Amino acid sequence: MAEHYFQKEIETAPYEKIREIQSEKLVHQVRRVYDNVPYYRKKMEEKGVTPDDIKSVDDLHKLPFLSKADLRDAYPYGLLGAPLKDCVRIHSTSGTTGKRVVAFYTQHDIDLWDDCAARAICAAGGTPDDVCQIAYGFGLFTGGAGLNGGSHKVGCLTVPISSGNTERQIMFIRDLNATILCCTPSYAEYLAESMKEMGLSPDDIPLKAGIFGAEAWSEEMRADIEKTLGIKAYDIYGLTELSGPGVSFECCEQNGMHVNEDHFIAEIIDPDTEEVLPDGTWGELVFTAVDKEAFPMIRYRTRDVCMLSREKCSCGRTFVKMAKPKGRTDDMLIIRGVNVFPSQIETVLINEGYAANYLLVVDRVNNTDTLDVQVEMTPEMFTDNIGEVEARQKKLENGLKNMLGIKAHVSLVAPKTIERSEGKAKRVIDNRKI
Amino acid sequence: MSVKQISIFLENKPGTLQKMTDVLSKNRINMRAISLAETKDFGIARVIVDDDYEATQVLKEENFINSLTPVLAVEIKNEVGALSKTLQVFSEGGINIEYMYSFLSVKRPEHACMIFRVTDTAKAEAYLGTHGVRLLNQDELSEM
């Protein structure tokens, strides 16, 4: 089997070697941030920490956290770590949670990001022989630019098609023999659905791999996409705050994402006590970017609920693996006191044979929370027999209750009425007035 | 000798039924009969049209999920006791009715047509045909 590495030496380096690199970069980074970012210096002073206290990765826990609130307070230039004249680009989040983040990049930052994305493409089997179709949005969103840069570094023939225009997407995939597709998983699902409607079978589709990220998706959704498109689907993770897609990525094992540890140190903390938790424990994922210049995040709280594992991986990479995040601490809905993640609902829907396209409507009636799951009726699920349709609806409600631990009502809606997303899917409407 | 009924899934919200009938209207499809079944959460419209193939296609194109269901069309006299007499035959034959609706003939107002959905269509066809119940075929239905 061919070796799928972009930078083998570092990707397979012994753990001690990686720690050494991290320590060296961290010491330097903390000093630089302390000197150049008054906002973070103030935080360090409040905590009584100086750059001299940071001698290696072991001292990381002494440093203060940064959160989304800090990013908002410091908007736009407050966390800038390099002179503006050295910055060459910005990217920005979609602001779906109402807090738009603007991140800055020097050329050095772009280069290291491209390397990270290139590692992800290689891990998915990408080589210069591949045609890589980038159907992530281009523009302020990091998805398009990140994979585009990575694809160039690998030497793939890059198709920067951006998102949308499904017919054109399918035409390019078929006419140019695209072998790798990069987009959000919900868009991949939509493309798969469209190709199926056109009567195309996996044999008619030249794709062999997909790199999907920027939103939560379940194993069931992966199986569905892999089957319909006849590909292997790989997860990729990233945050605009840290650069973009490529902070971590899946290898052939497809059971967790290797963190690019020479650039990012991952920690798991208890979101309430802020204490660092051991590997194998679920908690909030925290990242420190050790060599980014323009936007040097130190102990940035991602709000992703995640777990780290250092078990030996058959792919040969030594980078720590992070689990697929269970959800976001801010995606998480609290309904009748129970934590509900949209990804759990998706799992049930796919298991019961429905599309992963759904809308959750949360409301409060007579001081009790209600959860309505709107699901599209499918030709396979429809029959003239009302009792049978109701029984299927009931089965789905029971499945949801088993998974979530609370009762949910299922509303069957007409096909194509739930908005398809070309970027991040909006799946929750919370009407509660608290 | 069953006939085809189109069963259409209807989301439970104002305007859905109108949207559905509008699709048929725009495509110049005339309904012979229609019946609505509803639950708390959704509805099913059951319609009889002359050209079921075209109707299912245009409905599908407009995202109305539908399926064809075999039903029995029975011609009865438009007079007191006629339905009861017919149902007597159903009872004797042990034929289980799931639902039923009716319409009057335009051309022969002394006749009505009853649409039956039964549990075992094939068995019902065989029994009713040999026990004096007049089953209509698709063409006869169109002529009513």
Q: Are residue B78 and residue B44 in the same domain, yes or no?
A: no
- At position B142, the amino acid (one-letter code) is S
For A381, the closest chain B residue by CA position comes to B65
User: Token pair of B93, please?
Assistant: 């034959």
Please tell me the predicted confidence (pLDDT) of residue A425.
62
* Nearest chain A residue to B12, by CA: A413
Q: Which domains does chain A have, with CATH numbers?
A: 1-330 (3.40.50.12780), 333-430 (3.30.300.30)
Tokens standing for residue A34:
């302390």
> Which candidate from B12, B16, B67 shows the least CB-CB separation from A384?
B67
Q: Please name which of B20, B23, B29 lies closest in space to residue B51, comparing C-alpha atoms.
A: B29
Nearest in space to A215 (alpha carbons), one of A189, A256, A185: A185
With beta carbons less than 8 A apart as the criterion, state whether A173 and A198 touch: no
Q: Look up the CATH number of the domain holding residue B119.
A: 3.30.70.260
Average pLDDT score over residue span A269-281? 93
* Cross-strand bridge partners of residue A236: A213, A249
- pLDDT tens, residue by residue, A261-274: 999 999 999 988 99
**Alpha carbon distance B19, B6 (integer Å):** 16
- Give pLDDT tens digits for A123-145: 999 999 999 999 999 999 999 99
CATH number at residue B54: 3.30.2130.10
Contact B32, B98 (CB under 8 A): no
CA A132 to chain centre: 19
Q: State yes or no: pLDDT of B135 exceeds 50.
A: yes
Residue of A nearest to B39 (CA): A386
Chain B residue closest in CA terms to A411: B41
pLDDT at B118: 95
Whether the Cβ atoms of residue A304 and residue A213 lie closer than 8 Å to each other? no
User: Do B64 and B76 reside in the same domain of the chain?
Assistant: no
Q: How far is A414 from chain B (nearest CA, A)?
A: 6
Chain B closest-CA separation from residue A186 CA (Å): 20
| Chain B CB contacts of A386 below 8 Å | 37, 39, 44
Distance from C-alpha of B107 to C-alpha of A363, rounded to nearest angstrom: 54
- What residue numbers bound the domain in which B38 lies? 3-69
The separation between the first and the last C-alpha atoms of chain A, rounded to the nearest angstrom, is 57
- Within this chain, do residues B39 and B85 fall inside the same structural domain, yes or no? no
For A334-374, write each residue's pLDDT tens digit: 788 777 888 788 888 888 888 778 999 999 888 888 999 99
Q: Do both B77 and B138 map to the same domain?
A: yes
- What backbone phi and psi angles, to 5 degrees, belong to A344? -65, -40
Q: List CB contacts (< 8 A) between A410 and chain B.
A: 41
B10 and B63 assigned to the same domain? yes
From the CB of residue A284, how many other CB atoms can be counted at a distance below 10 Å? 22
- Three-class SS state of B143: helix
Q: Which residues pair with A89 in a beta bridge?
A: A105
Q: Mean pLDDT, to the nearest integer, of A63-72?
A: 92
Residues B65 and B99 in one domain: no
Q: Hey, are the CB atoms on A411 and B12 less than 8 Å from each other?
A: yes
For residues B63 and B122, membership in a common domain is answered with: no
Residues paired with A368 in a beta bridge: A365
Cβ separation B11–A414 shorter than 8 A: yes
Q: Are residues B77 and B127 in the same domain?
A: yes
ipTM summary value: 0.84
Chain A partners within 8 Å of B5 (Cβ):
384
The C-alpha atoms of residue A285 and residue B59 are separated, in whole angstroms, by 49
User: Are residues B116 and B56 part of one domain?
Assistant: no
Domain's final residue, options B69, B94, B121: B69
Q: How many Å apart are CA B134 and CA B118, to the nearest integer?
A: 16
- Average pLDDT over all residues of chain A: 92
3-state helix, strand, coil in chain B (%, to 5): 35, 40, 30
Both B41 and B79 in a single domain? no
* Average pLDDT value for residue range A222-240: 95
Q: How many structural domains are present in chain B? A: 2
pLDDT at A352: 86
Domain boundary pick from B36, B51, B69: B69
- Residue A178 near residue A131, CB atoms below 8 Å: yes
Average pLDDT over residues B67-77: 94
Nearest CA in chain B to A390: B39
How far apart are alpha carbons A315 and A317 in whole angstroms? Answer: 6
Using alpha carbons only, what angle is made at residue B117 by residues B114 and B120, rounded to the nearest 5 degrees?
Answer: 130
Report, as an integer, the average pLDDT of A165-175: 94
* Same domain membership, residue B106 and residue B83: yes
State the sign of the Cα–Cα–Cα–Cα dihedral A158, A160, A164, A166. negative
Residues of A at the B interface, defined by Cβ within 8 angstroms: 377-379, 382-386, 389-390, 393, 410-417
pLDDT at A423: 55
- DSSP per residue, A15-68: HHHHHHHHHHHHHHHHHHHHHH-HHHHHHHHHHT--GGG--SGGGGGGSPPB-H
Number of A/B CB contacts below 8 angstroms equals 50
List, as ranges, residues 33-92 from B with C-beta within 8 Å of A.
37, 39, 41-42, 44, 46, 63-67, 69
CA atoms within 13 A on the CB side of B88: 9
Contact call for A386 and B39, based on CB within 8 A: yes
Residues B82 and B109 in one domain: yes
In the chain, the amino acid numbered A92 is S
Percentage of chain A beyond pLDDT 70 is: 96
State phi, psi for B99 to the nearest 5 degrees.
-160, 165
